[in-house]
Structure 1
Amino acid sequence: LRNSGQMQGSLRIGATSPYYILGLVRTFRERYPQIEVSVEIGNSQQVLEALEEYRVDLAASSQKLDDQRLTRLVLGSDPLVLAVHRSHPLAGRVSVDIAALKGHNLLMRERGSITRQLTEALLEKAGLDIGPLLEIGSRESIREAVIQN
């Protein structure tokens, strides 16, 4: 960014999901209309690699980091939830015990995704070996796969 009386330049943002940042980007654009903003979406690993390699200026990620080179600000939090088609046997329940997943096919995010890491940790802690897995590369694609199922 250059400052010659009025902010100009570009801001490159890496994010794991547009959910938390789009409102912030809109507010930023209203305040600084001369600054070009670009958003690159990827999983946590991809977004943090982009930040480390200076391909983005800031990153919004679900991964907690203890890196003294970075400043961390919490934008929000989300629970890890199970999504099933409305006709699925587990649909309509208020909550689902993780053991109930045994015998069901599981759609998983790709390796490098925090969602996948959390899911695998929960399954391991419960002593469950769920399979077969179908690996899908984005939240939106998983949503579509559930709807189409």
Structure 2
Amino acid sequence: MDLLQLRYFQAVARYEHISRAAEELHVAQPSLSRTIARLEAELGTPLFDRQGRRIRLNQYGVVFLHHVDRALSELDDARRVLSDARDTAFGRVSVASETLLTITHLLGSFRAAYPRADVRLFQSNAEEMDRQLRAREVDFCVASQPLTGTNLEMIELAREEVLLAVPRGHWLDGQESVTIREIATEPFVTTRIGQWQRTLLDRLFASEGLTPMISCEGDEPGASQDMISAGLGIGLIPAISRQAGTDSQVPVAWVHLNAPDCHRVLTLVWSRDTYLSDAAVKFREFTTSRPFMTHRLPDKRRGRGRQP
């Protein structure tokens, strides 16, 4: 067997779906199927249970995957160790975040403190973060919702209130607070399923036995305030946005949402088994040794800014 077979098996085992694995690996489905068949022939046992077009990892496949994951992780770490030892640079640190504006200031400060560090940034949802950590594509994730991967370490960076943003002149403009039931028929601007804003919105409404009415959904949370200001709906925005003034100065009004657990928790997440370069170690120390940029709601109920 060779490394290509093992990486192909790892992808198929993760998805339990040939076509999805083939899409990720950028190979033809028949070629991928033949590779898996050859691997099973070499091992002398099937690794998947097949029922028509469906496949499921069987008990032998589960055992084999455990060892394959460990072996490939060790090889990936060895490659990075050699790269760091060979290069004269400080090393690379790769970070994934659900919204880029959340960590722009942090990364800028880190680059200023460690100019020789090679910093790579990715925008990913929670599902993609889990995959990137498993595949060793990133060193850290700055997540706004729990990640489900195994062997993960995490440190809470910040906890902040999430506010309701409404267009100026809206009937809620100037109100102190509002309940979920009072806004049950209001159209919402939010992100797609999988992003933390949508997860929080669905959870808050579900706690009241309700379903939110979505007027607009997208992939970039930073655009939400523009759409809210334009009158396309109301939306959940973290409190930090009121203080993060930008050139656009998007005008919205802010209202407390009278609902339990209406907050965002930012965590730094990494895999405990992954090799970290000098740059990655310094990034973790830098991030966890200083207050993360958060802002509590001041007395004044309105503000300007863009959502991170």
Contact 1:109–1:115 (CA under 8 A) maintained in structure 2:
yes
**Which secondary structure does the structure 1 equivalent of 2:91 belong to?**
strand
Deviations along 1:64-101, whole A, 9 cap, x unmatched? Answer: 24655121011112222211111211122111111111
Which one of the candidate residues 36, 44, 49 is aligned to 2:126? 44
Q: 1:47 to 1:67 in 2, by over 3 A?
A: closer
**Which secondary structure does the structure 1 equivalent of 2:157 belong to?**
coil
From the two aligned structures, give the one with the greater strand fraction: 2
TM-fit CA distance, 1:53: 2.4
The aligned residue for residue 82 of structure 1 is 164
TM-fit CA distance, 1:46: 2.8
TM-score (norm 1): 0.83
- 5+ residue gaps, structure 2, are 1-79, 232-308
TM-fit CA distance, 1:61: 0.5
| AA at the equivalent of 1:105 | P
Greater Rg, structure 1 or structure 2? 2
Contact 1:107–1:135 (CA under 8 A) maintained in structure 2:
yes
* In structure 1, distance between residues paired with 2:93 and 2:210: 44
TM-score (norm 2): 0.43
From the two aligned structures, give the one with the greater helix fraction: 2
Identity of aligned residues (%): 23
**Which secondary structure does the structure 2 equivalent of 1:74 belong to?**
strand
Contact 2:189–2:214 (CA under 8 A) maintained in structure 1:
no
- 5+ residue gaps, structure 1, are none
* In structure 1, distance between residues paired with 2:101 and 2:158: 10
TM-fit CA distance, 1:102: 2.0
**Which secondary structure does the structure 2 equivalent of 1:80 belong to?**
strand
Which one of the candidate residues 57, 78, 93 is aligned to 2:139? 57
**Which secondary structure does the structure 2 equivalent of 1:81 belong to?**
strand
* In structure 1, distance between residues paired with 2:121 and 2:181: 38
**Which secondary structure does the structure 2 equivalent of 1:140 belong to?**
helix
Supply the RMSD in Å over aligned alpha carbons.
2.4
| AA at the equivalent of 2:188 | L
Which one of the candidate residues 104, 108, 131 is aligned to 1:26? 108
The aligned residue for residue 129 of structure 1 is 211
